[in-house]
Chain A
Amino acid sequence: MASYKPTKITVYPKLGEKVTQDTVYWKNYKAPIQIKEFGAVTNINFSPVAPHNFAVTAFTRIHIYGPFSHEPVKSFTRFKDTAYCGRFRSDGQLLVAGCEDSVVRLFDVNGKVALRMYKGHTKAVHVTDFTSDSYQILTGSDDYSCRLWDIPNATELNAYQEHTDYIRCGHLFSSECNRTSTFSQFVSKKEHRSYDHTLKVFDGRVDKSVMTLDHGQPVESLLLYPSEGLLVSAGGRFVKVWDLLKKGQPLVSLKNHHKTVTCLCLSSNGERLLSGSLDRHVKVYNTTSYKVVHNFDYAASILSLALAPNDESIVVGMTNGILNLKHRKNAEESKEISGQQRRRPSYRVFVKGKNYFPKQDDYLVSKPVKQHLAKYDKQLKKFNVSKALDTALEAWTRLKKPEITVAVIKELDRRGTLKNALAGRDEQGLSRLLYFLIGNLFDPRFAPVLVTAAEMILDIYQSVIGQSSVVDRQLLRLQEMLEREIDYQQELLEVLGMLDTVFASSLPRKEVPCSAISKSNGLTQGEGRLQLQAT
């Protein structure tokens, strides 16, 4: 005497995104906070010191936000024109920014007025940065030149004029040359929509560039790995990685965006690379395999992107002036999500004695495990077929888990009692059934079962068609959808035929496997079983 075997609910392989560790990590952020800025957000820079404020450069202002405040804690407004590239010094005390009016300004983070103004460029300055010894400033401008300034004296130390077009991004090596310590190497690049697509590496001790790399597109952003052996450049739709230790050999070229890539960023542990693009996506790459492991979608084209230390938050600036902030969830918060089932108050009653462990001499009387059956199984066990179908057609099951409803219909069909279960329904019951059919009949997973049920419904109720307008309307809708589906399948078959010809001509002439592939493809897709074709 065996116990009742519950109805088997078929588990279908989940299509789409696979849950990996990366998706878990990158999805573990709270709902985004949107802040409206005055214009397109061109640059975001995090302060390297403790509260990790960040400077947001948008239009003629630079706002400084605290880690949790949604209001700027500080703002610098003394720009005559559009400000560019507000950057913190490594001690977080000073901030440098370029401007459309060619003047580079240096601010004290606590002050309001510029401490120093560096004049010398003739056109807009898009690139500013502090050197690693924090006594000098590097700037790059639309006048094709790169200049090095002494901070206290506000004097120009050096100028590099090798580029032949606008310089839009640059990056400084930190401590490549410990011996000289006065200068560091820096890379700069210049671009003007499709003129000079080069990256040049300058040595601070020499006046000339030591390396020239051709990106092929106007370069929008540059990034150095912390090890300073690899250089990442973004331009056009491409993100390219160069090995500097092998004289700038291109390592890999990534083409995952379909519009210009505007900004690059490394995760705090250096294992993931993020790229933002005008196509409104931020992609996360694994830096060992250079495969996309995660993807964020945003509402507008992305111009700037920054990650807080320890990836505490992701800040994205967009062309429509919106600053998008995402904070990481706390450990407690993320735990709450995983253990979603709330414990009911009665839990404490049932748990009584559960944590008592039998001692050595105790005689254990095991309680028989009670079999818990789902509602529909309880009805099926009693052979109440109509009631079983009713419970399976309850709104929640029908909408959220149609596979359960289909499994019950299949089980009834197997028992030969599907007709009994379908018959004898009133208008409401029938329209509920038809509604379910309209929703799920065209799902290839459910079609074989539901087609039988649909035929039976038509057989049973054909005598009463015309008595209820609701049912008639649903039947007409079903018919219409069926016709559409037939057309669709026919088109699919045509496409398959075309593909077969393509495959047959492209593959080398190997008689047996060829025919097998084409045939199995045809049959598979025709029936919508995609799961197991590994050919």
Chain B
Amino acid sequence: MVEHGDIRVVHRGGSKINSREPVISSDSRLLLCASGECVKVFSTSTEECIHDLRGHTGLVTGVLLRPSNHLQAYSCSADGTVRLWDFTDGILIKWRSVGKACVCVCTCVCAELFQLVAVHLPQSGDRLVEARELSAVLSDVSSNPAAIAFGRGGEYIVSAKGLQLEVYFFKKQKSYRFSLKENNKKGRKNTFTCVASHPQDDCIATGHEDGKIRLWRNFSHKKEYTYSTLHWHHSVVSSLCFTPEGTNLLSGGVESVLVQWRYNQESQKDFLPRLGAAITHIVVSPDGALFCTSHSDNSKELLSALRIQVTLKSLSTDLMVDPRSKAMVLNGKPGHLQFYSLQRDKLLFNLDIVQQEYIHQSGLQQFEVVKAAFTASGNWLASVEERKQKDAELELNLKLWMFDEQSQSFVLNTTISAPHEARITAMCFCQSTDSQTTMLVSTSKDGHFKAWQLATPAHTEDDGPSWSCDFVGAYHSLVPECCTFSADGSLLAVSFQEVVTVWSPSSWELLTTLSQPPGAIRDLCFGKLSCSKYLVGTTANNLLCCWNLLTCALEWSTSMNTSLLLADPLSENMAAFCPQAGFTDLFVFKPNEPRPLYSHKAVCSGNVTRAVFAPREEMLDSCEESSQWLNHSQLYFLTQCMDLMTFTTKAEEARQMAASKQLVIDDSIAMTPFHLLLGKHRGQQQQQESGQDSLSAERTPLPQGSAAIKELLQTPAHILPSTSFLCSMFVQSLLISVTDSRSEEMESEKEEDSEEEEIESRAVRPPEMARCGQATETATLTKAQVKELRRVKKLDHGWLSSVLDL
């Protein structure tokens, strides 16, 4: 993040969350995922990211719950630190430096016993740190965290690498090694890939590269061990997991099928097919109700509460913005276009472009969406999909989709198979909104560019208009690279290596050619609005040129290595990204003058290849010259590590901060119709009763203290005892519902002040209270608060009325 005057570069989501297996909190309400340098906390009911746990300076390599306190979590990172978090509030409790980069941590869920394993790769050794003087070192351990597991109640640790399985018993301080042959008779590979141990039984499940699962038993003896084999997967088993009771074994792999094996009745198995992408991790919630699978396409799925997150994997299309929904369009999911809302950081929907069953098998060439384009009004979408097989001809399909008002989605209108002989390099729609005909131009490596036109059929019987080829153009058998329409749609510029040709789309005459040798044209943009007479191009030879199309002459040019040039559709501005010495600089300029409006050195490290101007929902009215270019639209760009970044001004940030505070509280509560009805009402109330903070603190956890409240509300008013009597009962009920021991302590807290401090040091917080905004106030009960509670007693009339209002 580089500070520059008023404008800041801000991270806007889209990082990897599938590198390590996620963790589900003990109450199945939160999901923790390691994502880059932070840990993301998701709500399992609303599927939204509640907050990030930030603090690590390196890649987070592992997350796990603290066994002794289920509200805290450890995370370890490549920077060599292990941090302890209160993940409900996102507070860092303590951190310890390990000194060496931790690759993963594992723990044994066992009361009073807590083990931390840090695998250190450079020495290829394994350090086992244990809180209570039990420690051992296993050498030669795989770096894959799936290949280490703790056995029943922490009695042993299993680790697999290559063809060896090692079991180490802590009590006996002894380790056993079992090894398999490299290949079996049929030449299948026996390499271990993952390990899981049964929670109650002495049984270890191992996954293998050839898709077999072996269940090892009786492994406490060197010779008399046995194993049985399960085989369903056709390729590598990448994850194994036992359910908490040990009744089922879950396995997943490249096939993207979740297989559930009954323990001891292995012939019975259930399948959950077509989960979207190869499964990398499987996690079961402690109560066994939720399964979470994480996939290679950077999505997580919670079964029984289904959800997919946006994936920002290998993008091959440009970033685009759907003019209708203002959503960013990406091709993260194979064969699909994903519509991703920038404002809400959420995936809106997937549009199936290829419409073919995706076969989950490694090494198979599938159709991929490589290009897409929208018309200015958003009525039409063009998409190109291609499939290149070894020694077979390229399969290309150009599809045109029409927006259907009724179903509010895109409907396939025309499929053109093999529109060109070679790869399509660029595609654009005619931008003008007033013209009658809609036109699409595609340029291809076969040396032609083709214009496609929407034609109404001659026969009235046909079903609606369809697209057909209108013109095929070429220029000296050079390869066209990019094409663009002028703002009014009267000119088409197509670049053929170092020559720019300007055509008239109405008559298909070649009007003029422009060239600025040497160097092939890389990007081409027409100016918008008042600058529509300018054509700006960048060449591979570090040149940014601007031609005036009225005089057909070069207006100005500067020497500048531009990797990406794009025009804002709503203003005259253009943005150029220039890589320089490992960093990328941004210049914003207007085509009519060669002076940049705004420049930003070192926006990010690495090269920027994808960027887009997204129109704002509401215009900003900043009058500062340097930030004026952000008034109409916002610039988003993707860095090399697929992080989505954007530019914001200070004023905007402040506004967002205010809004997000409100959001955090709301996010953790599931959106029920009831909530929707009352949410607004409550918001107003909160403003009115801003003085009565203590009251709202009680109101939020209402659903939890249900017994007392039900009693209160269901009893007729005339037989209720006095309110002063009721209030103390109510406050008690709130506290009892959390932990029994604590409420007793509170009863006697007047006598024993020392005990109170002990509670604080343990820092166990009831989740209900912690989740509300004023959690800190109620969590640590001091004398002052007890007084306040008493004051509340006197205010009880107001409270009762507000309850009834709800």
Interface residues of A, Cβ cutoff 8 Å to B: 1-8, 10, 18-21, 380, 411, 414-416, 448, 452, 512-513, 515-517, 519-520, 523, 527, 529, 532-535
Contact = CB atoms under 8 A, between A and B. Distances in A.
Interface residues of B, number: 41
B417 A534 contact: no
Interface in B509-538: 510
B691 interface: no
Contact of B359 (A1, A415, A512): A415
B357 A5 contact: yes
Nearest to B451: A534
A533 B452 CA distance: 10
A204 to B, nearest CB: 45
B356 A2 contact: no
B68 to A, nearest CB: 37
Contact of B417 (A10, A20, A523, A535): A10
A5 B355 contact: yes
Interface centre among A3, A5, A6, A19 (most CB of B within 10 A): A5
Nearest to B363: A416
Contact of A3 (B274, B419, B461): B274
Contacts of A20: 459-461
B275 interface: yes
B678 interface: no
Contacts of A535: 469, 471-472
Contact of A533 (B272, B421, B469): B469
Contact of B468 (A2, A21, A534): A534
Nearest to A10: B417
Contacts of B448: 516, 519-520
A19 B418 CA distance: 27
Contacts of B508: 513
Interface string B491-517: 000000000000000001010000000
A532 B468 contact: yes
Contacts of B359: 414-416
A132 B492 CA distance: 67
A512 B474 contact: yes
Given A1-B274, A1-B275, A8 B473 contact: no
B461 A18 contact: yes
15 contacts: A1-B274, A1-B276, A1-B306, A2-B276, A4-B357, A5-B357, A8-B355, A19-B461, A21-B460, A21-B461, A414-B359, A414-B387, A415-B359, A448-B393, A516-B472
Contacts of B416: 532
B364 interface: yes
A385 B448 CA distance: 40
Contacts of A415: 359, 361, 364
Contacts of A1: 272-276, 301, 306
Given A19-B461, A416-B361, 8 more contacts: A6-B357, A10-B417, A18-B461, A20-B460, A414-B364, A416-B364, A516-B474, A532-B419
A7 B387 CA distance: 17
Interface string B612-656: 000000000000000000000000000000000000000000000
B366 interface: yes
A532 B510 CA distance: 23
B470 interface: yes
B115 to A, nearest CB: 36
Interface in B448-464: 448, 453, 459-462
Contacts of A520: 448, 472
Contacts, number: 84
Nearest to A532: B469
Contacts of A6: 357
B719 interface: no
A25 to B, nearest CB: 12
Interface of B: 272-276, 301, 306, 352, 355-357, 359, 361, 363-364, 366, 387, 392-393, 416-419, 421, 448, 453, 459-462, 468-475, 477, 508, 510
Given A4-B274, A519-B474, A529 B418 contact: yes
Contacts of A523: 421
Contact of A512 (B357, B462, B473): B473
Interface centre among B276, B306, B417, B460 (most CB of A within 10 A): B417
A420 to B, nearest CB: 13
B258 to A, nearest CB: 9
A206 B790 CA distance: 127
Interface centre among B272, B453, B461 (most CB of A within 10 A): B461
Contacts of A2: 274, 276
B474 A5 contact: no
Nearest to B256: A1
A209 to B, nearest CB: 44
B369 to A, nearest CB: 15
A532 B508 CA distance: 18
B259 to A, nearest CB: 14
A10 B356 CA distance: 12
A7 B459 CA distance: 30
B469 A534 contact: yes
B759 to A, nearest CB: 45
A206 B468 CA distance: 61
A515 B387 CA distance: 29
A453 B486 CA distance: 47
A21 B460 CA distance: 9
Nearest to A511: B510
B155 to A, nearest CB: 37
A79 B364 CA distance: 86
A496 to B, nearest CB: 16
9 residue pairs, one from A and one from B, having the closest CB atoms: A5-B357, A534-B469, A520-B472, A516-B472, A516-B474, A532-B469, A18-B459, A415-B359, A2-B274
Nearest to A533: B469
A513 B469 contact: no
A199 B251 CA distance: 93
Contacts of B273: 1
B306 to A, nearest CB: 7
A190 B355 CA distance: 69
Nearest to B418: A529
B231 to A, nearest CB: 15
A515 B364 contact: no
Nearest to B474: A516
A396 B273 CA distance: 32
A532 B272 CA distance: 43
A3 B272 CA distance: 11
A415 B352 CA distance: 19
B254 to A, nearest CB: 14
Nearest to A519: B474
A193 to B, nearest CB: 41
B167 to A, nearest CB: 36
Contacts of B510: 512
Nearest to B417: A10
Contacts of B306: 1
B472 A517 contact: yes
A365 B170 CA distance: 58
Contacts of A512: 473-475, 510
A415 B301 CA distance: 26
A414 B366 contact: yes
A523 B366 CA distance: 26
A2 B352 CA distance: 11
Nearest to A13: B466
Contacts of A411: 356
